[in-house]
Amino acid sequence: MTTTTAASLSDKNIPVDERLMFALDVPSNDEAMRLVSELGDAVTFYKVGLELFMAGNYFALVEWLVAQNKKVFVDLKFFDVPQTVASAVTQLTKYGASFATVHGNDSILKAAVAAAAQSELKILAVTALTSLDQGDIDDLGFKADVKDIVLSRARRAFEAGCAGVISSGLEAPALRGSLGQRIMIITPGIRPVANTDDQKRTVNVEQAFENGADYIVVGRPIKNHAGYDSPRDAALDIQRRIREVFA
């Protein structure tokens, strides 16, 4: 078993095979369904984002995934006036998704949480995208350390009733230190090996969970499967690594 910090390691009752979320970032529903079928039981949880939303028939795909006994994370980062976000979340509750991302201030987050309250849908607040580093944060006009921004947004999300936050694994230890196990942490930007793409604040599989993640989101390392014979083999190896962390 990998050495972990007991206070950071997730203690939530999550089936170990569901802790991996695959980012289903492909250009069409047909490609998405082909990939889901190829992955089979290697992946249970799917993040479905903007690329497939713009491809058309997005909610038909969400319903198809649910019918395949898969769990769905709708990553559309709702951001608008509170009433509009609440209306959008109300519409989304019809489709059986487990999680949805919301981006915004306290009023927006509270509106989303209230709209989802009578359903199984859980609201996740976006903190700072993992494609941004401190230089990008400075360029956007935020005169604060990226960790401080993530902590501030996470605390406000918790107070607004959000089930969890999207956070880099680099900030996850500070979140656990501040909020303990009370909030769920979903960590994207996972790079099982050395990173060479546009994600800047990255960690590997073991680091993410040791730092406090409840779930990790992995996309290109599985889809492109460098060093593996297939996306399924890449996913199975990540699942093996997750099991070893929680053994």
Each residue's pLDDT tens digit, 185-232: 999 988 765 444 444 456 899 999 999 999 999 999 999 999 999 999
pTM score, whole prediction: 0.88
Asked if residue 183 belongs to a domain, the reply is yes
Asked whether residue 242 is assigned to any structural domain, the reply reads yes
What is the total count of domains within the chain?
Answer: 1
pLDDT for 220 equals 93
Whether 24 and 33 have beta carbons less than 8 Å apart is answered as: no
- Confidence at residue 169, expressed as pLDDT on a 0 to 100 scale: 86
Pairing of strands 164-166, 122-126: parallel
| Structure tokens given for 84 | 């509009």
User: 3-class SS at 91?
Assistant: helix
Establish if 3 belongs to a structural domain: no
11 in a structural domain: no
The answer to whether the beta carbons of residues 45 and 233 sit under 8 Å apart is: no
pLDDT in tens, 110-165: 999 999 999 999 999 998 655 545 565 455 455 556 677 778 889 999 999 999 99
Residue 156 lies in a domain: yes
Residue keyed to tokens 């409840």: 214
Whole-number Å distance between alpha carbons of 162 and 155 = 10
- Residue 227 gets the label, from left (phi > 0), alpha (psi -120 to 50) or beta, of left
- 77 a catalytic residue: yes
- Which H or E run contains 165? strand 164-166
Active-site option among 47, 77, 122, 143: 77
Range of the domain at 153: 16-246
In a domain, 2, yes or no: no
| CATH number for the domain that contains residue 191 | 3.20.20.70
Mean pLDDT for the chain overall: 89
Distance (Å, whole) CA 201 – CA 188? 9
5 belongs to a structural domain: no
**10 in any annotated domain:** no
d(CA 223, CA 92): 27
